[in-house]
Structure 1
Amino acid sequence: MAGWYPGDVEPTPELRRALAFLDSDLGADIVVRAGYVVAAPTAIACLVALVAVGVPLPAAVPAGVGIGLGATHTCHRLPVAAATLRRTRALGDAPGLVARAALRLRLAATPERAATFAARTGSGPLARSLAAHADRTRGESATGLGGFADEWRSWFPALDRSVSLLEAAVDAPPDERDRALDRALETVLDGARDEMAAFAGEVRAPASGIYAFGVLLPLALVGVVPAARAGGVSVPSAAFVTLYDIVLPVGLLGAGAWLLLRRPIALPPARVRSDHPDVPSGTFRGLLAGGAGLVGGGAVGAVVASWAIPVAAVGLGVGAGLTAHYRPMARVRADVRAIESGIDDATAVVGRRVAAGESVETAIESAADATTGRTSHLFATAAGVQRRLRVGVRRAFLGERGALADVPSPRTRATASLLAVAAAQGRPAGATLVTLADHLTELRRVEAEARRELAAITGTLRHTAAVFAPLVGGATVAMATQMAASETTLSGGGSIAGAAPGGAVLPPSTLGVAVGVYVLALAAILTAVAVGLDRGLDRALVGYRVGLALLSATPTYLVAFLAASMLF
């Protein structure tokens, strides 16, 4: 497609930087050319579609041109947006990376080893960036930490200050080094808190605007449709459907993307891949559940009204399919959370035992006895692997048959790596492990505070998507339907669907379908935005939550319609 554009182009440095960060094989000039080429066919297709549904030509032409230009802008900005979201997710690992480097420096004041350890025990763009800088400076006087901090300074200034404190701690006297390392971690944690608190304050007003103009006002206006007809104002079906099922959802998508792109740091959950042994391969489960939901939804919709059949079938079918497909990943993620919730206590037990002269290998068994739940089971499994296979701490946790072989938790795996290092250091590492436990507790506290800052916003979005919007939508459609029926009776049997400029006037059946599609779109879009604000855009997490929202919104919409029809 890019080859169809004959002219020369000059990509922006921002686009080049975004494609490089995404490790994309596409050249920036190809993206720019493709954006220009896509404008004409998009504009023509939209123009034809608008004219076909009855939009007057003087209005359809500028709309088509605007949509074509919007397609060009979207094509040019999409890589930049993707890079921003990925960078935001990567910065959520900054406190953990600094904590790992600081703890390695407590064991040995060697910045090269600390940088390598922090990079090797992490995952994602931040760890890979540190690894690249460490490899680039291997054998030189520099450690790679300075170049790494320079690269990320503009995105997260607190990380730059924290890394500078790490480097300064290396040259500090031994009795002051621990305080300097603590200060380095406090700096990045305080930076994360401040960034999230500032973002929560900035985003409240825009989120309220989205809620008011994207949800409340459109749903309230549905009830005005019959009253408008009574006042001599006709509402064309094509205009209503275009507004509620195309314009408003696209506007909500744009507003939601704008909110997500403004988030400075995301605290992502554990990423569960499809090749995990506890995740069934293929899409059979999802397709089977989706098919059952489609049939069941159609049957439920037929009981409510004829127009409800497609709404219920799509809502329950897609919701059941997404939920069934991503449910195994959600279970794995819940297991990871259960392990991480107690890993700090177990590490503290190991640290105290090692400081008292016990070996790390024996202290792991003590930690299994001193903790409960999944954390206790994890350490008991590692102790069992040590005894049966006669292996060290690293292989007991991280080996092919280790306790963490199927646990996708970067934080827990990094902790296990430090336990392995402590096993080689012996008794002096005990105090470091106790400090590690304190750091893990502090990291969890910062994550909880960050989520609490946004809890009111994300909670409102989730509840609106799953319950409030379908409840109001169903009741409003029922009220509008009853008002239309009453008007028809009073007018002596005249139809509400008389002719009107620009298309047929909106009948109640079309109203029900149009609002139903809008409600389902709200359930998907608002839920995705809420998840993105809360934990970052993880595909499995978004898919699972959207599936649950659709399973809630669809029956709520139908039940609200039935209940309101009985009342009115």
Structure 2
Amino acid sequence: MLEKILSLKSWRDKHEETKALGEAPALVGYLTMALKIVPNLERACVFACEQLGGRMGQELRKKISECHMRLHTSADEVLLKISQRWEKVCPELSRAIYLIRSSVGEKSGREMTLDRSLQLVLQGAKQRVREFSSNISLPTLLIYSLGILLPLVFVVILPVLSLIELQLGLAQIAFIYCFLLPFLVFILSNNVLSKRPATYHPPDVPLESNRLFSALKALVISTPAPTICFYLEAPADFKVLGVLWGIALGLSAFLYFSSVEAYRHREEIVQME
């Protein structure tokens, strides 16, 4: 049991690190932007801390605070600690920070060195995306098979099963189509997306506080199907289907109406960035 908990924690930490990698281009960009104006590492780190809000930003703020308390000798040591912390998961960030640290002592080629550091981290992000896109063909095929092909195959197989006296009831069919297959597709797709490398830190847009209004809309949409089936005294099979359709439509409507506005604002922010 303890091993499972530790493995789950390790998976979560790895997932958080993958998300945090999206801040690497922004971190290097803010550092180079500040250093092009004033070649002072401490001011550049403070400027980057003010702009970043993710995990890298939190770690940089913590290191800068420790530097103010004399736990680190200088901002150069702070950046060295940051580069060592992310060297294994993001080696291009470590190389970019090395160039940033070395650019402070340069005069003529300082801007060229800073531009080179930004190019390094951007090239690393592009390379991670290429590797991810080349490794998702098999998982995508599995998701397509479970979500599209397997339900169609079941439609063909069900009449054949009745010929060999192996019949599935409506409850079993509903469980397979409405719960088992969607759950497997969700697990596979979530596993694939958890490995997707982040190229930028996604903006945090909270969901609108309209859950009650969304729930009322979902209730209106989900009510007609089961109501009609029970009012017309339909057979039991149709009543079960009506209830399932009502639940599915209501849940889909609630999820859509409660998040559509927030995601619209998020897309606008991403386009502006």
User: Normalised by the size of structure 1, how large is the TM-score?
Assistant: 0.42
Is the 8 Å Cα contact of residues 296 and 313 (structure 1) preserved in structure 2?
yes
**What residue identity is the alignment partner of 1:235?**
Q
How much has 1:249 moved relative to structure 2? Answer: 3.8
Residue 351 of structure 1 corresponds to none
Is the 8 Å Cα contact of residues 301 and 311 (structure 1) preserved in structure 2?
no
Listed one character per residue, the Cα deviations across residues 411-466 of structure 1 (whole Å, up to 9, x for unaligned) are: 6xxxxxxxxxxxxxxxxxxxxxxxxxxxxxxxxxxxxxxxxxxxxxxxxxxxxxxx
SS of the equivalent of 2:223 reads helix
Is the 8 Å Cα contact of residues 34 and 43 (structure 2) preserved in structure 1?
yes
Residue 194 of structure 2 corresponds to 261
Is the 8 Å Cα contact of residues 103 and 110 (structure 2) preserved in structure 1?
yes
Q: Which of 184, 203, 208 in structure 1 is aligned with 2:117?
A: 184
- 2:45 pairs with 1:87: no
SS of the equivalent of 1:321 reads helix
SS of the equivalent of 2:138 reads helix
Give the number of the structure with larger relative contact order, counting CA–CA contacts within 8 Å between residues 6 or more apart.
Answer: 2
Residue 156 of structure 1 corresponds to 90
How much has 1:208 moved relative to structure 2? Answer: 1.1
Q: For 1:290 and 1:136, locate their aligned partners in 2 and report how far apart those are by CA, in whole Å.
A: 51
SS of the equivalent of 2:52 reads coil
Is the 8 Å Cα contact of residues 90 and 125 (structure 1) preserved in structure 2?
yes
Change (3 A) 1:77 1:293: farther
Q: For 2:142 and 2:50, locate their aligned partners in 1 and report how far apart those are by CA, in whole Å.
A: 44
Residue 167 of structure 2 corresponds to 235
Q: For 1:246 and 1:316, locate their aligned partners in 2 and report how far apart those are by CA, in whole Å.
A: 14
Residue 119 of structure 1 corresponds to 49
Q: Which of 256, 280, 292 in structure 1 is aligned with 2:220?
A: 292
**What residue identity is the alignment partner of 2:95?**
R
Cα-Cα RMSD: 2.8
Residue 535 of structure 1 corresponds to none
Q: Which of 255, 262, 266 in structure 2 is aligned with 1:329?
A: 262
**What residue identity is the alignment partner of 2:205?**
V
Change (3 A) 1:323 1:100: same
Listed one character per residue, the Cα deviations across residues 320-357 of structure 1 (whole Å, up to 9, x for unaligned) are: 2122222332343244345x1xxxxxxxxxxxxxxxxx
Change (3 A) 1:317 1:159: same
**What residue identity is the alignment partner of 1:102?**
T
Residue 392 of structure 1 corresponds to none
How much has 1:242 moved relative to structure 2? Answer: 5.5
Listed one character per residue, the Cα deviations across residues 258-287 of structure 1 (whole Å, up to 9, x for unaligned) are: 31332232545321125xxxx4x3521122
Listed one character per residue, the Cα deviations across residues 74-104 of structure 1 (whole Å, up to 9, x for unaligned) are: x443333332332222211211111010010
- 2:61 pairs with 1:131: yes
How much has 1:243 moved relative to structure 2? Answer: 4.7
How much has 1:158 moved relative to structure 2? Answer: 1.2
Q: For 1:201 and 1:300, locate their aligned partners in 2 and report how far apart those are by CA, in whole Å.
A: 49
Is the 8 Å Cα contact of residues 125 and 199 (structure 2) preserved in structure 1?
no
Is the 8 Å Cα contact of residues 221 and 249 (structure 2) preserved in structure 1?
yes
Q: For 2:146 and 2:264, locate their aligned partners in 1 and report how far apart those are by CA, in whole Å.
A: 36
Change (3 A) 1:78 1:246: farther
Residue 425 of structure 1 corresponds to none
**What residue identity is the alignment partner of 2:202?**
P
| Residue correspondence of structure 1 range 454-493 to structure 2 within 5 A | none
Task: Give identity over the alignment, percent.
Answer: 24
| Residue correspondence of structure 1 range 18-33 to structure 2 within 5 A | none
SS of the equivalent of 1:109 reads coil
Q: For 2:216 and 2:227, locate their aligned partners in 1 and report how far apart those are by CA, in whole Å.
A: 17
Q: For 1:268 and 1:300, locate their aligned partners in 2 and report how far apart those are by CA, in whole Å.
A: 48
Q: Which of 141, 146, 151 in structure 2 is aligned with 1:208?
A: 141
Change (3 A) 1:239 1:319: closer
How much has 1:180 moved relative to structure 2? Answer: 0.4
Point out where structure 1 has 5 or more consecutive residues left out of the alignment.
1-34, 37-71, 341-410, 412-568
Residue 224 of structure 1 corresponds to 157
Change (3 A) 1:337 1:141: closer
How much has 1:308 moved relative to structure 2? Answer: 3.2
Residue 131 of structure 2 corresponds to 198
SS of the equivalent of 2:89 reads coil
Is the 8 Å Cα contact of residues 90 and 266 (structure 1) preserved in structure 2?
no
Residue 107 of structure 1 corresponds to 37
Q: For 1:103 and 1:210, locate their aligned partners in 2 and report how far apart those are by CA, in whole Å.
A: 43
Q: More deviation in 263-272 or 180-189?
A: 263-272
Is the 8 Å Cα contact of residues 298 and 310 (structure 1) preserved in structure 2?
yes
Q: More deviation in 157-166 or 293-302?
A: 293-302
Change (3 A) 1:246 1:283: closer
Q: For 1:248 and 1:96, locate their aligned partners in 2 and report how far apart those are by CA, in whole Å.
A: 39
Change (3 A) 1:249 1:330: closer
Q: For 1:335 and 1:245, locate their aligned partners in 2 and report how far apart those are by CA, in whole Å.
A: 34
Residue 11 of structure 1 corresponds to none
User: After TM superposition, what 4+ stretches of structure 1 lie above 6 angstroms from structure 2?
Assistant: 300-304
SS of the equivalent of 1:90 reads helix
Is the 8 Å Cα contact of residues 297 and 315 (structure 1) preserved in structure 2?
no
Change (3 A) 1:94 1:301: farther
Q: Which of 169, 173, 197 in structure 1 is aligned with 2:103?
A: 169
Residue 367 of structure 1 corresponds to none
Is the 8 Å Cα contact of residues 54 and 201 (structure 2) preserved in structure 1?
no
**What residue identity is the alignment partner of 1:283?**
R
Q: For 1:268 and 1:122, locate their aligned partners in 2 and report how far apart those are by CA, in whole Å.
A: 9
Change (3 A) 1:334 1:142: closer
